[in-house]
């Protein structure tokens, strides 16, 4: 009984954590990126940009 309760609590916590993390990031619509997200005002994440991708980032005001 105790192990079932602990397992259930762990499952609920894991699902809640995954759902919370999913909502933190804003997907940025992009022509040259499949995977561009805004993590915070100063931090973005994406795959390795191409030359056109670098130009798009620069146009968005994102720089190295």
CB contact at 8 A, 33 and 49: yes
- 5-62: per-residue pLDDT in tens? 777 877 787 777 766 555 578 999 999 999 999 998 889 999 999 999 999 999 989 8
Q: Would you tell me how many other CB atoms lie within 10 Å of the CB of residue 57?
A: 20
Half-sphere exposure of 31 (CA within 13 A, CB side): 9
Distance CA 38, CA 31 (A): 15
Model pLDDT, residue 19: 60
């Amino acid at each position: 009984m105790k192990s079932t309760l602990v397992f259930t609590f762990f499952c609920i916590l894991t699902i809640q954590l995954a759902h919370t993390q999913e909502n933190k990031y804003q997907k940025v619509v992009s022509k040259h990126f499949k995977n561009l997200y805004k993590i915070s005002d100063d931090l973005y994440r994406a795959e390795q940009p191409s030359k056109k991708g670098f130009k798009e980032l620069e146009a968005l005001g994102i720089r190295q």
